Structure 1
Amino acid sequence: MSGLSDDTLRKILQQIQQQAISSQKQLSIVRAQIQSKEKERKILALTTRELGHVPRDDSSTMYKGVGKMFIEQPRTEIDIEHSTLEKSLNEEVSNLTKKAKYLEKQFDEANSQLKDIFHSQQRQEA
């Protein structure tokens, strides 16, 4: 590092710092998305649990809320939609968790690089 000019070193530090800031911002966005999906999953689990208490006979009508309206649907369609939505939410949470781990790793690497540069500069000055 002793061969680098102050200007070049400053540019490298800015670049690493921008990467760390970008990773931190993306990480907070991903964490918010994970929380949102977890909330959706809990609501779906509660809905499924409550529907489990409703008797399964052909005479009962089920309605699905759509905006400010309700649409009549057979129980089997609602069950299929719920299971599909549950699988989808599980997949999304899994993918977002992987993305969060990657961003955390990227942020940690950027911080590590900054620390290494500062330590090497301190050793050179001493």
Structure 2
Amino acid sequence: MSGLSDDTLRKILTQIQQQAIQSQKQLSLVRAQIQSKEKEKKILSLTVRELDNVPRDGSGAMYKGVGKMFIEQDRKDVDSEHSAQEKQITEELSTLTKKSKYLEKQFDEANSQLKDIFHSQQRQAA
């Protein structure tokens, strides 16, 4: 680091700082998405639990809300739709969690690079 001019060092610091800020913004966005998906999953599980309390009589007909209307659906279709939604939400949560871990790692690396540069500059100045 001793061979770098002040201007070059300043550019490097600015670039690393921008990377840290961008990672932090993306991380907060991903965390908000995770919270939203967890809320969706909880609502879905509550819906499934309440539907399990409904007796399974011979008709098997249920109604699904579509806008301001209701459409009759078979119980099997409703159950399969709910399980597909649960599977999709679980996969999305998994993907978002991986992305969150990656962004946390990227943010930590940028911060450690900044600290290393500052410590090396302080040692040189002393």
- TM-score band, normalised by shorter chain: over 0.9
1:43-71 per-residue CA deviation (whole Å, 9 max, x = no partner) reads 00000000000111232531111222211
Give secondary structure in 2 for the equivalent of 1:55. Answer: coil
Alignment correspondent of 1:72: 72
Alignment correspondent of 1:106: 106
1:60-99 per-residue CA deviation (whole Å, 9 max, x = no partner) reads 5311112222111100000000000000000000110000
Contiguous gaps of at least 5 residues in structure 2: none
Contiguous gaps of at least 5 residues in structure 1: none
Structure 1 stretches (4+) deviating beyond 3 angstroms?
Answer: none
Alignment correspondent of 1:93: 93
Alignment correspondent of 1:42: 42
- Same amino acid, percent of matched pairs: 80
What CA distance in whole angstroms lies between the structure 2 residues aligned with 1:78 and 1:60?
A: 10
What CA distance in whole angstroms lies between the structure 1 residues aligned with 2:78 and 2:116?
A: 56
Aligned residue pairs total 126
Alignment correspondent of 2:26: 26
Tell me whether 21-30 or 68-77 shows the greater mean CA deviation.
68-77
2:12 equivalent to 1:15:
no
TM-score (norm 1): 0.97
TM-score (norm 2): 0.97
What CA distance in whole angstroms lies between the structure 2 residues aligned with 1:99 and 1:67?
A: 34
What's the Cα RMSD here? 0.8
Give secondary structure in 1 for the equivalent of 2:24. Answer: helix
2:122 equivalent to 1:122:
yes
